[in-house]
Structure 1
Amino acid sequence: MKKNYYTLHILADNKEKPFIRTFSTTTTRIVISLLAIIIVSTIIIICYSLPKALKYNRVSAENEQLIQDRLMVTKILSDYNQIRQMDRYIRSVLGPDLSLSSLDSLDFDSLFIPTGINNQLASKSIKISYLENIPIYPPVDGYITQGFIDDHIITEDNHYGVDVAASEGEPVKAAASGVVVFSNWTYHLGYMIIIYHANGYFTIYGHNQRNIVEEHQYVNRGEVIGYLGNTGISNGPHLHFEIWREGNPIDPQSMIYSYRRSDVSIKNSRR
């Protein structure tokens, strides 16, 4: 039986001797099959890798934004700690006879109150107990779906507060009396509120549907400051609640007793 062959001719423009190669049918089929396998494999790899590459870029961008938001919150905490340190320094320079109340004992911090409001409040006698300034009041009733995690390393696994699941639109209340130092939108936590309390405490309320308080506004413990929502990076309606003191995060479940009993998070189920 006569074998079939394929001959490849490559002719040069300068009329030199042409390049000629002869291949058998079997060899030709093998080469074509290998080329087809390479092309198909390349297409499969591209289809598999491209979504992952796009997802990586998106996650990287979200992580960068998260870091920026966390740095902003940390800066706010640092700024107010510096204010408290400056307050102590001024008092030490002016002497013990200075007739000003300690910053931690003020009913409200005049540093955060606009002049117009300050004059109005000056004529009122507002007395707040020590406990009013400690965040022990649950901002919303619900179930803890994710607990507090702090490995002392800046990683995505850290969770410096608790997630409290409840119905969307549920009123969010101040955990303690204090002054609103931030009430605006952030990429990660959506509509967020930060309240400064005396004794070095800060509380953070994230993913709100909307905020109803303004910066520099004084709020009482239990006062409605916003409504529970699903804004920012969130998988469902819940409140992200954090407690900080002197720049360090505190587990809200250690401060609020009712949250210990309503913990349905995975971490709690393993105990």
Structure 2
Amino acid sequence: MKKKRQRLISVLLIPDDNAEPYSFRLSWTKAKIIMAVAAVLVLHMILGVVGYVQYAKVSSENAELERSNTRLLEDNKRVYRLSAQLEAMDRDQGKIMSLLGVDNHKSGRATLNASLLPNLAAATESAPDAEIPEPAATVGEGGTEAKGSGRLLMADARESNRFPVNLPTLLPVQGFLSEEFSREVKMPWQTHAGIDIAGKRGSVVVASGGGYVVFAGWHNDLGNLVIIHHGGDLFSYYGHNDRLLVREKSLVKRGDPIALLGSTGRSSGPHLHFEISQGGKSVDPREFLLTLRSGSLP
């Protein structure tokens, strides 16, 4: 019986110089092994590239999640800090209300009855020496005022002083009413919990009413934010400030400077976001601000 002849593969290597060619032979079995190893190596390289791309993508997503978690933790810390400050403020409520000149009830908290609000405009109209200035524009030739621009003027201090010192009745900054309060709830971005007053960057923002500063710091949306507690369940918010002039746990009087107008946070230009919250719900600042309740503005 004849022995089966082994199949061989000859490989000839020819250098590009004048060197002698080199050749060698491989058995068909060894050639198959070498080709299989080469295929495995190529497949490994392809899988390695695909895996690296996936790893880079997942790593980027994880980094973004970590940044989001960090922001959430910072927001939670601010919420917890604000909650602790509110609890401490409640414990000191009697002292605070005494300094504000507001009578305390048996519950130890000063109540701000909403029925007082409709009387603000009536009381203002009946006061002969506390008229609210007309909206003014630029001063023309001869010193006469060009009316009708809708420019907001700071309300007369005598006018605001006719009401409890803690009520936020004073316009917090001079400027233009650029956006109204809106309760529209069809879309989340259509709601606007306060009013926007556009003005010159660096303009002084004052406390609309006397109270206790429960927050003075950074907010992701409202930038440099001040929150003042006016007693009971009444709070006022002053957002997008360039710089804060007050610290937390400090007492302020109506008209005290609390910040400088700016465009921090989610803002397209220098303006003040002014918001009033009563009973845990945002209310129209027109119900409090004497300048806007006068009917001199649209």
TM-score, length basis structure 2: 0.50
What count of residue pairs does the alignment treat as equivalent?
Answer: 204
> 2:178: which partner in 1?
143
Post-superposition shift, 1:226? 1.7
> Which of 55, 72, 75 pairs up with 1:63?
72
> Are residues 1:88 and 2:108 paired?
no
Post-superposition shift, 1:55? 1.5
Letter in 2 for 1:225: I
State the Cα deviation string for residues 37-87 of structure 1 (Å, max 9, x = none): 111012211222222211211111111111221233344445545655994
TM-score, length basis structure 1: 0.54
Task: Give the 3 Å change call, closer, same or farther, for CA 185–134 of structure 1 in structure 2.
Answer: closer
Letter in 2 for 1:227: L
Larger C-alpha radius of gyration, 1 or 2? 2
C-alpha distance in 2 between matches for 1:145 and 1:35: 63
C-alpha distance in 1 between matches for 2:60 and 2:161: 59
> Which of 229, 242, 246 pairs up with 2:262?
229
* Equivalences for residues 6-25 of structure 1 within 5 A: 23-25=32-34
Post-superposition shift, 1:27? 2.5
Contact 2:165 2:253 in 1 (8 A): no
> Which of 214, 218, 232 pairs up with 2:253?
218
State the Cα deviation string for residues 151-199 of structure 1 (Å, max 9, x = none): xxxxxx9x9945847453344343x321242464346455332222255
Task: Give the 3 Å change call, closer, same or farther, for CA 161–80 of structure 1 in structure 2.
Answer: farther
> Are residues 1:206 and 2:206 paired?
no
Point out where structure 1 has 5 or more consecutive residues left out of the alignment: 6-20, 92-101, 106-125, 151-156, 259-271
Post-superposition shift, 1:256? 7.3
> Which of 177, 202, 211 pairs up with 2:209?
177
Point out where structure 2 has 5 or more consecutive residues left out of the alignment: 1-6, 12-29, 96-103, 113-159, 293-298
Letter in 2 for 1:185: G
Letter in 2 for 1:128: R
Letter in 2 for 1:178: G
> Which of the pair is proportionally richer in helix?
1
> 1:9: which partner in 2?
none
Letter in 1 for 2:167: N
Post-superposition shift, 1:218? 1.0
> 2:4: which partner in 1?
none
Task: Give the 3 Å change call, closer, same or farther, for CA 195–32 of structure 1 in structure 2.
Answer: same
Higher relative contact order (CA 8 A, sep 6+): 1
C-alpha distance in 2 between matches for 1:245 and 1:134: 11
Letter in 1 for 2:64: K
Contact 1:203 1:243 in 2 (8 A): yes
RMSD of aligned Cα (Å) = 4.7
C-alpha distance in 1 between matches for 2:87 and 2:182: 25
Contact 1:213 1:225 in 2 (8 A): yes
Overall identity of the aligned pairs, in %: 18
> 1:30: which partner in 2?
39
C-alpha distance in 2 between matches for 1:145 and 1:30: 70
C-alpha distance in 2 between matches for 1:254 and 1:52: 45
C-alpha distance in 1 between matches for 2:232 and 2:80: 22
Q: SS of 2:78's equivalent? A: helix
Q: SS of 1:229's equivalent? A: coil
Task: Give the 3 Å change call, closer, same or farther, for CA 73–30 of structure 1 in structure 2.
Answer: same
C-alpha distance in 1 between matches for 2:271 and 2:244: 14
